[in-house]
């Protein structure tokens, strides 16, 4: 994201490079929580940065609903409460795209639960 500050492209040009509208870029610059996981991966590609973390995170997110389903119901519900997201919502985001704000919320919940 820090590369955006150094980027010589305007919002319209960057939008074209990432496959979104210039208005979407303006909105996401103003509200970083609007970025989606696929946007971050396309930004990394555009700036020739490694995309390994995005790829691995996406893979784990797609595996998570099945893993949760194999758990005992009480354990699955505990994890869903902790992450503040249920299996159907995980599947919805896996089919569409993950908003970064939800990933950050899950990450914070996991950090808080480990303390």
Residue 10's pLDDT is 86
Residue 95's pLDDT is 96
Residue 91's pLDDT is 96
| Each residue's pLDDT tens digit, 31-81 | 888 899 999 899 889 888 899 999 999 999 999 999 999 999 999 999 999
- Nearest to 99, CA basis, from 19, 20, 28, 5: 28
Does the pTM surpass 0.75? The reply is yes
Q: Give the start-to-end residue ranges of the domains of the chain.
A: 2-50, 53-113
Q: How confident is the model at residue 7 (pLDDT cuts 50, 70, 90)?
A: confident
What letters, b where the CB count within 10 A reaches 16 and e where it falls short, cover 13-25?
ebbebbebeeebb
């Amino acid at each position: 994201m820090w590369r955006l500050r150094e980027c010589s492209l305007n919002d319209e040009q960057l939008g074209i490079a990432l496959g979104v509208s210039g208005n979407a870029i303006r909105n996401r610059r103003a509200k970083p929580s609007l970025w989606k996981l696929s946007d971050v991966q396309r930004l990394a590609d555009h700036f020739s940065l490694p995309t390994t973390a995005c790829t691995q995170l996406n893979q784990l997110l797609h595996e998570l609903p099945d893993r949760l389903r194999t758990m005992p119901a009480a354990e699955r519900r505990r994890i869903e409460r902790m992450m503040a997201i249920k299996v159907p919502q995980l599947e919805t985001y896996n089919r569409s795209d993950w908003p970064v704000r939800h990933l950050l919320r899950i990450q914070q919940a996991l950090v808080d639960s480990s303390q």
